[in-house]
Structure 1
Amino acid sequence: MERIEAELFTDGGNDAVVRVPGRRFPGVLVQGDSLYVLRCDVAEVVEACERGDLDEASDSAGLLLAHLDALLARYEVTLSEHEIPRPY
């Protein structure tokens, strides 16, 4: 394990925006439990598709997209507040 100093642009919650040394742009730190929830959400979409239940797949995918959109919006607002251009 290596200890480093990182720049913290938001609070240290589940979706903290941080920049580690050597990186031009910050990233979003996703805690392990939150990563697992995202994985489970994707699995629900896949399982519904495999069953042919497109309504459930669409609903699950919509919820997943909303969650990712919220993460991305927080990231973009943070970049804007710190006058950092988007990496995309």
Structure 2
Amino acid sequence: MERIEAELFTDGSNDAVVRLPGRRFPGVLVQGDSLHILRSAVAEVVEACERGDVDEARDSSGLLLVDLDALLARYEAALNEHEIPRPY
């Protein structure tokens, strides 16, 4: 394990925006349990598609999109607050 200093652009919650040394743009630190939840949400969509259940796939993917939009909004707000251009 290597210890480094990173720049923290938000509070240290489950989806902290941080920049690691040597990186031009910050990233989002996703905790392991949150990553597992996101993976499970994608699996629900895939399973619904495999069953041909379009309604469930649409509902599950809609919830996943809401979660990802919130994560992206937090990232973009942190960039805006610190006058960092978006990398996309």
TM-score (normalizing by structure 1): 0.99
The equivalent of 2:25 in structure 1 is 25
The equivalent of 2:74 in structure 1 is 74
Aligned residues: 88
Q: Distance in 1 between matches of 2:29 and 2:54?
A: 32
Matched position secondary structure for 1:38? helix
The equivalent of 1:2 in structure 2 is 2
Q: Distance in 1 between matches of 2:23 and 2:59?
A: 36
- Trace 1:1-88 onto structure 2 (pairs within 5 A): 1-88=1-88
- List structure 1 runs of 4+ shifted beyond 3 angstroms: none
Q: Distance in 1 between matches of 2:77 and 2:32?
A: 23
1:17 Cα deviation from its structure 2 partner: 0.2
Tell me the alpha carbon deviations over residues 23-47 of structure 1, each in whole angstroms, 9 at most, x when there is no partner.
0000000000000000000000000
1:9 Cα deviation from its structure 2 partner: 0.5
Structure 2: state its 5+ residue gaps. none
1:19 Cα deviation from its structure 2 partner: 0.2
Tell me the alpha carbon deviations over residues 2-23 of structure 1, each in whole angstroms, 9 at most, x when there is no partner.
0000000000000000000010
TM-score (normalizing by structure 2): 0.99
Q: Distance in 2 between matches of 1:71 and 1:83?
A: 18
Q: Distance in 2 between matches of 1:34 and 1:41?
A: 11
Q: CA RMSD in A?
A: 0.3
